[in-house]
Structure 1
Amino acid sequence: MPDRDTAAAVACNVRAARTRRGLSLDRLCERAGISKGALVSVENGAGNPSLSTLVRLADALALSVSDLLDPPGTEGIRVVRADSTEPLWTGPAGGEVRLLLTTPGPAPVELWRWRMLPGELHRSAPHLPGAHETVTVLFGELALTVGDSEQRVPAGATALFHSDTAHAYACGGESACEFLMTVHLPGPHDRR
Structure 2
Amino acid sequence: MRTASDRAGLSPDELGRRARVGKGALVGLEKARGNPNFATLVRLADTLGVSVSALLEGPAEGRVRVVTADAVAPLWTGRPGGEARLVLTTSGPAPVEGWRWTLEPDEECPGHPHQAGVVETVSVTAGRMTLIVDGTEHTVEAGQTATFAGEPSTSTAARAGRPAT
TM-score under structure 1 normalisation? 0.79
Aligned length: 165
* 2-structure distance, mates of 1:37, 1:119: 36
1:29 aligned partner, one-letter code: G
Contact 1:152/1:172 (8 A) holds in 2:
no
User: Which residue in the other structure is 1:171 paired with?
Assistant: 158
- Identity rate of aligned residues, in percent? 48
TM-superposed CA distance for 1:73, in Å, is 4.0
Mark the runs of 5 or more structure 2 residues left unpaired by the alignment. none
- Consecutive unaligned residues of structure 1, counting only runs of 5 or more, are 1-13, 179-192
1:144-159 alignment, distance < 5 Å: 144-159=131-146
SS in 2 for 1:134: strand
Contact 2:69 / 2:100 at 8 angstroms: preserved in 1?
no
Letter of the 2:18 counterpart? R
Alignment partner for residue 85 of structure 2, among 81, 95, 98?
98
Corresponding residue number in structure 2 for 1:118: 105
Superposed, 1:21-170 pairs within 5 Å as 21-170=8-157
RMSD of the alignment, in Å? Answer: 1.6
- Structure 1 pair 123/101, CA: closer, same or farther in 2 (3 Å)? same
Paired residues of 1:136 and 1:158 also in contact (CA < 8 A):
yes
- More RCO (CA 8 Å, sep 6+): 1
**What SS class does the counterpart of residue 39 from structure 1 fall into?**
helix
Matched residue SS, 1:151: strand
Q: Compute the displacement of 1:172 (Å).
A: 2.0
